[in-house]
Amino acid sequence: MTSFLALSAIIVAVYLVHNYRSLARNIAAAKSSGLPIIILPWNVYSMLWLATYPIWLPLLRNLIPSSWRGLWFELLDPEWAYRLGYRPFADIGGDVFLTASPSRIQAFVADAEVITQITTRRNDFPKPLDMYTRLDIYGKNVVSTEGSTWRMHRKLTAPSFGDKNNELVFVESIHHAQSLLELWTGPDGRGNRTVENPAADTMRFALYVISRAGFDVRVVWPHEEKEKLTGAPAGADALLVGATPPPGHKMSYREALSELLENIMWTQVAPPPYLAKSPFKIHRTVGTAVIEWGKYMEELYKAKMEDVASGRNTEGMDLFGSLIKGSGIMGNTSDVSKKEASLQKSDLLGNAFVIMLAGHETTANALHFSLIFLAMHWKSQKRLQEDLDKTLQGKLMKDWTYEEEFPRLFNGMAAAVMNETLRLLQPIINIPKSTAPDRPQPITIGDQHMVIPGGVYISLSCAVHRNPKYWPSESDYRGTDGLNDVDRFRPERWLVDAKDASTSAAENTNFDDEDLRGPSGADTSAHLFKPVKGSYIPFSDGYRSCIGRRFAQVEILAVFAVIFQKYSVELAVDEWASDAEIKKMPKGGKERKEVWQKAADRTDHLLRETMSSIITLQLRDNHIPLRFVRRGEERFVFE
Ligand code: HEM
Ligand SMILES: *[C@@H]1O[C@H](CO)[C@@H](O)[C@H](O)[C@H]1NC(C)=O
Ligand SMILES: *[C@@H]1O[C@H](CO)[C@@H](O)[C@H](O)[C@H]1NC(C)=O
Ligand SMILES: *[C@@H]1O[C@H](CO)[C@@H](O)[C@H](O)[C@H]1NC(C)=O
């Protein structure tokens, strides 16, 4: 052990000497900013560290005496912003600070005012494009570009996300939510069965919704395949696909899509044609999936072109359809010259892919974590159900419409639950921005003026969501482990009257060109809590804010309505007690509570300790099993 220790010390020493000069230079540059600085021994967001820190951190914790382990040590965990929330900012005593390591300077921002300056000064604070190259598998796109190229892509994609598409999202979400619910509650709808891996199911759900609303492909769920594909015509004119690959394909659309998106990180390692020849099966599968999905997209693209050429299906509710139509690529030369002349097919496929990618995992997570939070907080769940009863007034699901139901859902407890989940578990914990090399940028906090040096990576930190300055709280709340009210799930905080509220989010960005705006509809509800601008950024903000915001909101609220109209969600406790044993324990009694508490403690632990991001924040290698039971048949209700 001692020789290992000595060796490690030597390695660290050599490394430090070697990097000393760059570090000194970075520290000097950081100091010129006037902002607080933390010095780090290496870049915590390098590929190497991201891939291996779970091995090193526990080792270092044992090696380094606790008196040496200050804040710098905590910041070695790339997920610190999620795990520690606002505390590091409080400890440093500033809502903006810099970290300096030998290879980079990084700024972390949890101040709403500064966030707004950054998101509205698009040219001063561009996205660090080197972080986005992996998204270009099929072509350049609206996520991975900047400047005038980005404008072109945003103009191309924005019109697709109109209210017509939102309507389709609403209908499709209700359709697939019913399938999801049936999967979870069983054919008899009793729901007395454990759902082992709800995350996998919500992922599938989001994929299927985006497949239809994005690409006009209605995927059939595996558990419904027999009846749907062989039974009566499904009614929808969308392309219907199941498990069997059509002629000319090696994978079904469903499989290609899931394999591609679930294993996307491998596409960074090597280009798809090489992956397809790798000795590792997983690589080959991904490689094939990339190629297969590309082929499907090509086919869809052709079919859409024909549709439009022949005047069929010109409704264009799906994103891809309106993308193609809006591109002017359809061959009418006069139309083409009106649009960007440089537009190519790869631009369409590139955007199709990135919309698919951006649109499914984030939404699936939001849904998954909402369900877990609700299972942990019965009172909030009950309030959600009561609120839905009032909103829906027993109306049959088939009569729900986007126009009628969505605005009401968006004004009530369902939206509060969604908002609160996205506050605590912002899927993208550090929204990346930067300053260009040699272009330092001034910022102001109140009447203080500071400078972010040039060549800096900036993270808009999810810690702003837990900055007590911005969130209404019950100040007398004292949680365990030093948690404050801002650190806990309390959707009710959104249901307060805000008299002096400022306007929020995307709605009041002054786009210099209205075609860039994207989602229609204001992001505000008249009488509810409106966060200070810049303090609530699950969808980012400003020019580069999420174009699928409304899409996601519609989807999530529709699922809530379908599930909680008739069902409740509970933590599954199979690990600690069988159904028969639970049955014997008195309802609402101490014994049941003890069993439930074990499940709740495990959930708490997993949420706090085992979450990590690849692109978005997720549980890795762990599941939180749930149960969906008919309302009134809950097993774990404790007042
Ligand atoms: C709860 C769900 C969602 C969350 C939390 C979310 C979050 C975000 C965030 C934080 C960004 C900025 C990323 C950056 O700066 O790198 C973004 C951008 C984007 N999102 Fe979403 N998103 C969600 C759903 C969706 C959906 C459903 C779609 C499409 C169907 C979508 C499409 C996009 C696109 C195209 C961009 C790039 C916009 C641009 O740069 O102009 N997102 N999203
Ligand atoms: C669920 O309910 C059905 C019908 O009452 C019953 O036959 C079955 O044993 C129950 N399953 C579980 C896991 O409790
Ligand atoms: C092509 O452009 C011409 C002239 O602007 C127009 O009359 C025609 O309807 C267009 N065709 C299609 C398919 O859009
Ligand atoms: C959810 O957050 C948005 C801001 O993004 C706000 O306009 C809306 O009122 C919130 N919904 C509820 C129910 O508080």
For 461-478, the DSSP string reads: EGGGGG-TTTS---TT--
Q: Which residue's alpha carbon is nearest to atom 9 within ligand 4?
A: 525
Higher-pLDDT residue of 263, 448: 448
Measured CA to CA, the distance from residue 450 to residue 111 in angstroms comes to 13
- Cα angle at 219 between 214 and 220, to 5 degrees? 155
Residue 546 annotated as part of some ligand binding site: yes
Per-residue pLDDT tens digits for 61-96: 999 888 888 999 999 999 999 999 999 999 999 999
Would 385 be classed as within a structural domain? no
3-state secondary structure of 80: helix
Evaluate if residue 522 carries a pLDDT over 60: no
In this prediction the pTM is 0.89
Burial 196-212 (b: 16+ CB within 10 A, else e): eebbebbbbbbbbbbbb
CA of 619 to the centre of ligand 2 (A): 30
Q: Is any ligand 1 atom within 6 A of the Cβ of residue 362?
A: yes
Evaluate if residue 341 carries a pLDDT over 60: no
Q: What pLDDT was estimated at residue 233?
A: 41
Nearest ligand to the CA atom of 350? 1
Q: What pLDDT was estimated at residue 162?
A: 87
Q: Which residue's alpha carbon is nearest to atom 9 within ligand 3?
A: 332
Nearest ligand to the CA atom of 497? 4
Nearest ligand to the CA atom of 409? 4
Q: Phi and psi at residue 104, in whole multiples of 5°?
A: -160, 160
What the block records as the tokens of 16 is 């430090």
Q: Is any ligand 4 atom within 6 A of the Cβ of residue 199?
A: no
CB-based pocket (< 6 A), ligand 2: 190, 192-193, 579
Would 178 be classed as within a structural domain? no
Would 1 be classed as within a structural domain? yes
The neighbouring-strand residues paired with 432 are 459
Measured CA to CA, the distance from residue 445 to residue 228 in angstroms comes to 58
Would 27 be classed as within a structural domain? yes
Evaluate if residue 518 carries a pLDDT over 70: no
**Residue type (1 letter), 158:** A
Please name the residues in contact with 66: beta carbons below 8 A apart, sequence gap of 6 or more: none
Q: Nearest-CA neighbor of 604 among 424, 361, 417?
A: 424
CA of 250 to the centre of ligand 2 (A): 40
Q: Is any ligand 1 atom within 6 A of the Cβ of residue 359?
A: yes
Q: What is the dihedral of CA 472, 477, 480, 486, to 10 degrees?
A: 0
Q: Name the least confident of 422-436, 519-533, 565-579, 615-629.
A: 519-533
> Within a 13 Å sphere around the CA of 377, how many CA atoms are in the beta-carbon half?
20
Evaluate if residue 339 carries a pLDDT over 60: no
Would 438 be classed as within a structural domain? yes
- Average pLDDT over the chain reads 86
Evaluate if residue 268 carries a pLDDT over 90: no
Q: What pLDDT was estimated at residue 333?
A: 47
CA of 192 to the centre of ligand 2 (A): 6
335, 336, 337, 338, best to mutate for ligand 3 pocket (most atoms within 8 Å of CB): 335
3-state secondary structure of 318: coil
Per-residue pLDDT tens digits for 355-401: 988 888 899 999 999 999 999 999 999 999 999 999 999 899 999 99
Please name the residues in contact with 91: beta carbons below 8 A apart, sequence gap of 6 or more: 71
Q: How many domains does the chain have?
A: 1
Q: Ligand 4 atom closest to Cα of 523?
A: 7
Would 375 be classed as within a structural domain? no
CA of 547 to the centre of ligand 1 (A): 6
Evaluate if residue 112 carries a pLDDT over 80: yes
Q: Is any ligand 4 atom within 6 A of the Cβ of residue 356?
A: no
Nearest ligand to the CA atom of 556? 1
CB-based pocket (< 6 A), ligand 3: 332, 334
- Which residue range(s) make up the domain with 121? 1-138+428-471+531-537
CA of 419 to the centre of ligand 4 (A): 6
Would 22 be classed as within a structural domain? yes
CA of 193 to the centre of ligand 2 (A): 8
Q: Which range has the top average pLDDT, 344-353, 495-504, 508-517?
A: 344-353
Q: Under a CB-based contact definition with an 8 Å cutoff, are residues 127 and 433 in contact? A: yes
Q: Is any ligand 4 atom within 6 A of the Cβ of residue 415?
A: yes
Would 104 be classed as within a structural domain? yes
Q: Name the least confident of 165-169, 289-293, 317-321, 562-566.
A: 317-321
Integer CA distances (angstroms), 457 to 86, 325, 492, 590, 598, in order:
20, 37, 35, 52, 41
Q: Which residue's alpha carbon is nearest to atom 7 within ligand 4?
A: 524
Find the helix or strand (DSSP H, E) in which 18 lies.
helix 2-31
Q: Under a CB-based contact definition with an 8 Å cutoff, are residues 488 and 520 in contact? A: no
Q: Which residue's alpha carbon is nearest to atom 12 within ligand 3?
A: 332
Q: Which residue's alpha carbon is nearest to atom 10 within ligand 3?
A: 332
Q: Ligand 4 atom closest to Cα of 505?
A: 5
Q: Under a CB-based contact definition with an 8 Å cutoff, are residues 23 and 104 in contact? A: no
Nearest ligand to the CA atom of 578? 2
